[in-house]
Amino acid sequence: MAARIERGRLLAIFAHLFSTYGPQDWWPAKTPFEVMVGAVLTQHTSWTHVVRGLERLGARAPLTARAILALPETELADCLRPVGYFNIKARRLRAFCAAYLDQGEQNGLSRLTTAELRHRLLGVKGVGPETADDILLYAFDRPVFVVDAYTRRIFSRLGELAGNEGYETIRHSLETTLGPDIALYNEYHALIVRHGKEICRTKPRCGECCLADCCAHPGSSSQG
C-alpha cells in the first residue's frame, strides 16, 4: 500500500525545521563531482568523517575521476581510512569514477533524462537508491526527494509512515505530494539530516523536539 502524507502537513513540518535551523546551504562541496564522491563516501557514515577522508584524498590527488582512478586501490583505501568501510568504499569509488568517465562525465550525463540518469547511476556497483538520489538532486539539480534513515525515522515518529514502506514507495509519495520542487527537496533533506543528527539520537521519542507541535496530528503514534 502506498504511503500517503498530506501536503499541508509536509509543508508544516518543513516550516518548523526551517524556522529552527535556517538554510543549510547544501551540498557542502565545491564541484558536482565532489558531491558525487561525497555521496559514495557518506554511506552509513557521518559527514565529519567524510570530510577527513576527502582532505586526505585531496592531499594525495586532485578530486577528479582520472586522478582517483590513477591511485592504486590500496593507496585510495588508506586515504579513506577515517571514513570507515575504507576497503569497500575504495572499490566503490573507483567503480563510480570508471563509470563516470565511461558515460561522458558531467556533460554526457547532464544530457540524460532524470529517469535515464537514475537508471545509469543505479547500474554502478556501490550506488544504491539513496546515493543515486543524492547525486541526482545535489550534483545534477534534478527534482528527486532523497529518502534516508532519518527521513524514515522522523516521518514514522510523526505518524506519517508505518516505517516498513519501501524506499521507492516513500520517495514516490513525497514527490507526488510536494510536486517537482528542486529547491524544496534540497532544503528539506538537508534539514531532516540536521534534525536527525542533533535530535533523534538524543531524544528517543517524538514530541521532545522542535517538531512537538507537529506531533499533535491525529494520525501520530508518537512511539519512538
Q: What is the Cα–Cα distance from 26 to 4, expressed in whole angstroms?
A: 27
Phi and psi torsions of 163, nearest 5°: 105, -15
CB contact at 8 A, 4 and 10: no
Stretch that binds DNA, among 14-22, 67-75, 170-178, 196-204 (CB under 7 A): 196-204
> Is residue 203 close enough to count as binding DNA by CB under 7 A?
no
> Is residue 87 close enough to count as binding DNA by CB under 7 A?
yes
> Is residue 86 close enough to count as binding DNA by CB under 7 A?
yes
Which cell numbers hold the place of 87?
Answer: 576497503
Of 28 and 217, CB closest to DNA: 28
User: How many CB atoms lie under 10 A from the CB of residue 205?
Assistant: 11
Query: Which residue in 7, 201, 203, 205 binds DNA (CB under 7 A)?
Result: 201
Amino acid occupying residue 7: R
> Smallest gap, in angstroms, from Cβ of residue 218 to DNA?
28
Q: What is the Cα–Cα distance from 87 to 101, expressed in whole angstroms?
A: 22
Query: Which residue in 132, 144, 209, 211 binds DNA (CB under 7 A)?
Result: 132
> Is residue 43 close enough to count as binding DNA by CB under 7 A?
yes
Query: Which residue in 17, 69, 130, 187 binds DNA (CB under 7 A)?
Result: 130
> Cα 85 to chain center, whole Å?
18
> Is residue 143 close enough to count as binding DNA by CB under 7 A?
no
CA distance to 66, 76, 78, 84, 132, per residue, from 87 (Å): 19, 9, 8, 8, 20
Of 127 and 206, CB closest to DNA: 127
Stretch that binds DNA, among 9-17, 63-71, 125-133, 172-180 (CB under 7 A): 125-133
Query: Which residue in 20, 32, 84, 101 binds DNA (CB under 7 A)?
Result: 84
What is the Cα gyration radius of the chain?
18
Stretch that binds DNA, among 11-19, 40-48, 110-118, 178-186 (CB under 7 A): 40-48
Stretch that binds DNA, among 12-20, 79-87, 180-188, 204-212 (CB under 7 A): 79-87
User: How many CB atoms lie under 10 A from the CB of residue 223?
Assistant: 10
User: How many CB atoms lie under 10 A from the CB of residue 97?
Assistant: 24
Cell 543505479 appears where?
A: 122
Please give the residue ranges that form the binding site for DNA (CB under 7 A).
27-28, 38-39, 42-49, 81-82, 84-89, 124-132, 134, 148-150, 193, 196-197, 201
